[in-house]
Amino acid sequence: MSARLLYDLTGLVHWYAYFRHPGGVQRVIEKVASSDVVRQSSTVEFVVRILGSDRFYRIEPELIANLGSGRSSAISRLRRILAQGLRLATLPEMLSEGRHFHLPYLAAGLTRMEGLIEAWTEGAARRSLPALDIVAPPGPQDALFNPGDLWWQKKYVATVAGLKKRTGVRIVQMIHDLYLIERPEWTPAGAVRVFAEQLHGIAPSVDCWLTSSQFVRQQVQRYLADRSVPEKPIAVLPMGWDSFDALRDAGHDRLSDRLVLERHGLIDKPFMLSVGTIEPRKNVPALLDATDELRARFGDVVPRLVIVGGYGWKAAEVRARLAAGSRNGNLLWLENLSDGDLGTLYRNALFTVMPSHGEGWGLAVQESLALGVPCIASNAGATREAGLDLATYFDPASAEGLTRAMATWISDGAALAAARDRIAQALATRRFPSWNDAGSVLLRSALS
């Protein structure tokens, strides 16, 4: 029997049980999963763990691919499949591991009403689905890949560690960053505790680590050394520059762009863009302070600031400032944007700003540059790896540095145009990593 890579989508299925658009971690997970090299590989099976057991059921590759082209339908199917999967868990298993967010799907599954979930979320007629296909248990020739979201099931790590002990399956673990452990003040205490416990539990069983950047690779090396965990191979998974390739040509469709901009009140209005969750790590107050100072200095010459990101944690004061700015028309705060709308905002922004205190990669920097839009980025964490020599960097501890960088591009159109030209030249002449490259690294690392 040939070796298999079990690509575990347990966390992604749980995410889409309640959300319709991906966060940064989820975007990476589904981009790698939907890359041609992974999705078309005969060695890859997409799997989801049955709560409270060591069994997994199979997810068809087309469903993951459809998260890009038919998101609403794909999410509805994933929600229905979650309910079906929970029906397979025994009552003792559910009592030992179930969490509050499992209850609606457990009820739907046990009453065999999961079809209503799909009909309600998609607005379509109920359809019959085949019984879930249980995956054959892995062996020592196989690998189980967790793409970085360990926290959705209480006993996930204990189950995986036990599975490895019994079967010899290789464990491949992705880490997006370790800020939850290194900077716990940026995250709710409960989330920090769960992440730390799960990571500590899985570390001795890992055969190969994958990270989003060299920066995170060093974080993982320190973590393992500090806890005397034998270091195993650590590979860096390249982050693809082609997330918006399908939308790049749409940039020439001025009518489509105009409809999106009109829907958000941005027609013929220059704007600056910042993308990221509203939470302490993202350093949004520094961006608001810089914008206020520039508006006091330059008046109406300062473009409107558009912030795209869901409300996270410990940011009530920032939320109040965003609401006030939205009321006076100087600011627009948008949540839950589709990739199509986000791509349009990127393409039409004068420039973007990413002021974060620290990132394990910096997707917002990379996405901006990949669409040819200049970016002012914090130099903390891995953002220099994401933005290379194409972004303009500042120290997030220096309010003056951010203000100065923004002032240059607001007051000097030639400087902004030069930055845009430099990015265009790089995109036309240099090769940047793709999500297929990421998939190739995953397959090579997991099965070699």
Residues 372 and 424 in one domain: yes
* Helices within 299-412 (DSSP H only): 316-328, 339-348, 363-370, 383-387, 399-411
d(CA 43, CA 142): 9
Pick the more confident residue, 87 or 345.
345
Residues 111-129 have a mean pLDDT of: 59
Residues 266 and 351 in one domain: yes
The strand ranges marked E within 262-330 are: 271-275, 304-308
Q: Residue 299 region, left (φ>0) first, then alpha (ψ -120 to 50), else beta?
A: left
Token pair of 175, please?
Answer: 């880490």
Residue that the structure tokens 């990101």 belong to: 309
Mean pLDDT computed over every residue of the chain: 90
Residues 180 and 90 in one domain: yes
Residues 419 and 442 in one domain: no
d(CA 187, CA 309): 16
Residues 214 and 66 in one domain: yes
Domain count, the chain: 2
Query: Mind listing the pLDDT tens digit for each residue in 331-350?
Result: 999 998 888 899 999 999 99
d(CA 126, CA 116): 7
Supply the DSSP symbol for 152: S
Residue type, 34: S
Token pair of 80, please?
Answer: 């229905």
Residues 219 and 250 in one domain: no
Here the CATH number for the domain that contains residue 31 is: 3.40.50
Token pair of 195, please?
Answer: 């992440």
Residues 377 and 418 in one domain: yes
Residues 421 and 441 in one domain: no
Residues 443 and 354 in one domain: no
- Burial pattern 7-46, b for ≥16 Cβ within 10 A else e, equals bbbbbbbbbbbeeebbbbbbbbbbbbbbbebbbebeebbb
| Of 322, 324, 347, residue with least CA distance to 335 | 322
Please state the φ and ψ torsions of residue 303, each to the nearest 5 degrees.
-65, 160
Residues 252 and 294 in one domain: yes
- Burial pattern 211-249, b for ≥16 Cβ within 10 A else e, equals bbbebbbebbeebbeeeeeeebebbbbbbbbbbbeebee
- For 211-247, the DSSP string reads ESSHHHHHHHHHHHHHTTPPP--EEEPPPPS-TTHHH
Residues 48-66 have a mean pLDDT of: 90
Query: Mind listing the pLDDT tens digit for each residue in 266-311?
Result: 988 899 999 999 999 999 999 999 999 999 999 999 999 999 998 8
Here the CATH number for the domain that contains residue 316 is: 3.40.50.2000
pLDDT of residue 115: 63
pLDDT of residue 251: 44
Residues 332 and 220 in one domain: no
Q: pLDDT band for position 117 (50/70/90)?
A: low
| Of 166, 118, 127, residue with least CA distance to 144 | 166
pLDDT of residue 250: 43
Residue that the structure tokens 């030249």 belong to: 425
Residue type, 398: S
Domain extent at residue 103: 5-240+437-447
Give pTM, 2 decimals: 0.92
Three-class secondary structure of residue 5 per DSSP: strand
Supply the DSSP symbol for 278: B
**CA distances from residue 7 to 38, 56, 275 in whole angstroms, order as listed:** 9, 11, 28
Name, in order, each residue with C-beta under 8 angstroms of 56's C-beta and a sequence gap of 6 or more: 6, 8, 47, 48, 49, 50, 134, 135
Pick the more confident residue, 330 or 355.
355
- Provide the residue count of the chain: 448
d(CA 418, CA 425): 10
Within 10 Å of residue 421's Cβ, how many Cβ atoms?
12
Task: Report whether pLDDT(239) > 90.
Answer: yes
Residues 139 and 38 in one domain: yes
